Chain A
């Protein structure tokens, strides 16, 4: 398949290891990955904070950048983030409509039909759960609210992880409850956000996992930011990073990236 990658703004600028691993994984599986470099941000932060007019240039840019998918330029668009996938599917259309731009709303919705979270692309479109990965570590998986309840990726990430060779996958207690990030919520209501984070961290630590994984770097940044402050010794890794490595060729993010934890 020929797949366009939407790296997400946080993936591009803060955690490039997630889109890097996505490229590596998909290429290892024999697919071609394209990076349309006029891409920016999905607009989730602006929409969720109530700044609708400011969200419009972002939506416009996204639509313009990824419109070629409608002409068959690419087979699909992949996003290494359930949250941004949810935003592309739900919020771009909503905000364009609310700002009186029905044409753009329709185009955003059409593009969203070709847009998939990484786990959906692998399981639903490519029909694989075993990507041939090898990862001999104790791992716990946080499903993240928007992956679960907006993008509706279901148990696909879990199935992918279960198929990884040598992995010790442990259940995260109260996995489906929010870590307290919520974008600007974590600043506007920082005391409440920190209280929610503390409970999430307690659950992560109770698993004795070495690595916390999720399909979303924003939630990982939040939880791992707390774990790092506590010097808890748990690393955060994106789902794509775990799936990228094989027994012969373990995945390692370039040294220019930084990782929270430990």
Chain B
């Protein structure tokens, strides 16, 4: 099905290729959690993909507007967010007990439960179940966790085709690409590219396929129908697990997931351990937050819940694989653990200006965007500069839009700053970087007024250097990174501090306005106040 390739030169060469009307963006990586370059390098590459930027800008703006409209009509949105956050806080503090409760309830209702500490282990368990059933093909419900562990590739190497049935995920799979968004995986494609992909890669695509969305979806529907009816095994993830009853939940828009959850005889659900909530009532809160945040819908079209097995209805064999893959390590972190509250709605991506410009592939991980920037390095334990994932916490302007959009109130900016702190600390002791020197040096004048005042003696020099235009257009490294696209004004002839001092001395400001002065409190001592 897919070929294994990790070479980044392939990435850059395929971006420029495009006679077929589309080009694969990213080859299937060896580690789907983090591959390739550090963020600035990968972002510089994806920024040049103008078609992707157009597609992404249009799509994120549309979802953003829809979400804002649906959130605005909720009088209790902020209370719901607080409730959601409290539910997850509680669930994470009682994770072991809840998982055991979940296990007992699944078994009591005729299911099987497996525990996987790594992605490889989860793949092995899922594969052995499918192989035991003699399956050569399995159908899949869209699942981020299966992307995280590289399940499709694992199956393909062992002779089983795993077919994605979510429309967007199917487009990504057909084009041998990686998802660019966690909810809208093909967000970087437009409909003309989708038509070209279908024509090139879908064996039963109609001859006269147009790029009209209804025509494209009808072709996908016919293609998928055959898969649903022939597959004996289905693989799913879950949006939530409800511990009190051993129930799993999948929310989706197309109904293809429900086909997978009801038609095949065997169902294997691989779920991250953090996806658990204690009760049905908790599910109710999150079910209100999720669709509005994800796609700007009041309610998603399909919400499927399944509990164990029911004779004569749905899958007759049900396996739940509980996946850790670094999660318990994240849970042990008092600040970073918030990342486990994520319900994978993608709203942080849709509001993030960085994501909007560079796209999901720049993050070089199946979890892109702001949540990916805090989740990926933590799951991988990557805090030092040798690991490209350590560059992800810096991939944000800290504009805070992600925190405001997050339905679970994950304070992504604070976690980003904490992870930056850890990246800096992980590097201490070696040869100091430019930033180490600069930050240390800046700390000295900036922490004392009298030393700040010295700046006033240096500034006139810089003013002379700036020349008659009074602006710098070409600064030395590393400020070149700034002056490549932005002018820098010459510093003023007089600092504010000096202006204030002069004003106090003369009783009037150099600009000539009457002034009451700064008063007696600190005019005498330079220490501020008395």
Q: CB within 8 Å of B: which residues of A?
A: 2, 4, 7, 9, 11-17, 19-20, 23-24, 27, 32-41, 43, 45-52, 54-55, 57-58, 60-61, 64-69, 71, 73-74, 91, 94, 98, 145-146, 149-150, 176-178, 180-197, 199, 221-222, 225-226, 228-229, 249, 252-260
Contact = CB atoms under 8 A, between A and B. Distances in A.
A186 B482 contact: yes
28 contacts: A2-B519, A9-B452, A20-B499, A32-B519, A34-B519, A37-B453, A37-B522, A38-B449, A40-B449, A48-B398, A48-B420, A61-B449, A68-B529, A73-B521, A149-B401, A177-B353, A177-B399, A186-B397, A190-B40, A191-B43, A192-B43, A196-B357, A197-B485, A252-B511, A256-B492, A258-B471, A258-B489, A260-B487
Given A46-B442, A60-B447, A37 B495 contact: no
Contacts of B478: 187
Interface size class of B (residues with CB under 8 A): 35 or more
Contacts of A37: 449, 453, 497, 500-501, 522, 526, 528
A16 to B, nearest CB: 4
Complex A-B, nearest 3 residue pairs according to Cβ-Cβ distance, in ascending order: A36-B528, A182-B397, A68-B529
Nearest to A42: B446
A259 to B, nearest CB: 7
Interface string B481-499: 1101111111111111101
A149 B493 contact: no
Contacts of A149: 399-401, 403-404
B491 A14 contact: yes
B452 A94 contact: no
Contacts of B499: 16, 20, 254
B400 A40 contact: no
Nearest to A259: B489
A148 to B, nearest CB: 8
A225 B446 CA distance: 24
B492 A196 contact: no
Given A182-B398, A185-B394, A52 B421 contact: yes
B487 A13 contact: no
Nearest to B414: A94
Contact of A191 (B44, B471, B515): B44
Contacts of A43: 446
Contact of A61 (B394, B440, B447, B530): B447
Interface in B453-496: 453, 455-456, 459, 470-471, 473, 478-479, 481-482, 484-496
B58 to A, nearest CB: 13
A76 to B, nearest CB: 14
Given A20-B496, A182-B396, A254-B494, A50 B421 contact: yes
Contacts of B530: 68, 73
Contacts of B448: 38, 40, 61
A249 to B, nearest CB: 8
Contacts of B479: 187
B450 interface: yes
Interface of B: 39-40, 43-44, 47, 353-354, 357-358, 393-401, 403-404, 414, 417-425, 435, 439-440, 442-443, 445-453, 455-456, 459, 470-471, 473, 478-479, 481-482, 484-497, 499-501, 509-511, 513-516, 518-519, 521-522, 526-530
B446 A14 contact: no
A178 B401 contact: yes
Contact of A182 (B399, B446, B496): B399
B449 A65 contact: yes
Contact of B459 (A13, A24, A68): A13
Given A7-B496, A61-B448, A187-B478, 16 more contacts: A12-B452, A13-B452, A14-B491, A20-B509, A23-B515, A36-B528, A40-B445, A40-B447, A46-B443, A49-B424, A51-B421, A58-B446, A146-B399, A189-B39, A192-B354, A229-B473
B529 A67 contact: yes
Contacts of B43: 189, 191-192
Given A191-B40, A191-B47, A50 B487 contact: no
Given A36-B528, A37-B501, A228-B471, A187 B481 contact: yes
Nearest to A15: B492
A145 B399 contact: yes
A254 B400 contact: no
Nearest to B463: A258
Contacts of A41: 446-447, 452
B493 A229 contact: no
A183 B413 CA distance: 14
Contact of B529 (A73, A182, A221): A73
Contacts of B488: 221, 225
Contact of B484 (A40, A184, A190): A190
B398 A12 contact: no
A258 B424 contact: no
A9 B486 contact: no
A117 B40 CA distance: 33
B411 to A, nearest CB: 10
Contacts of B397: 145, 178, 180-182, 185-186, 193, 196
Contacts of A32: 516, 519
Contacts of A184: 435
Nearest to B453: A37
B455 A13 contact: yes
A13 B518 contact: no
Contacts of B414: 94
B394 A189 contact: yes
Nearest to A83: B398
Nearest to A196: B353
Contact of A258 (B447, B452, B490, B529): B490
Nearest to A65: B528
Contacts of A9: 446, 452
A68 B471 contact: no
Nearest to A28: B513
B510 A54 contact: no
Contacts of A7: 496-497
Contact of B485 (A185, A188, A226): A226
Given A226-B485, A226-B486, A24 B518 contact: no
A23 B486 CA distance: 30
Contacts of A38: 448-450, 522, 526-528
Contacts of B487: 225-226, 228-229, 260
A149 B404 CA distance: 8
Nearest to B497: A12
Nearest to A3: B519
B497 A57 contact: no
B375 to A, nearest CB: 18
Contacts of A58: 443, 446-447
A132 B358 CA distance: 45
Contacts of B453: 37
Nearest to B428: A53
A49 B493 CA distance: 29
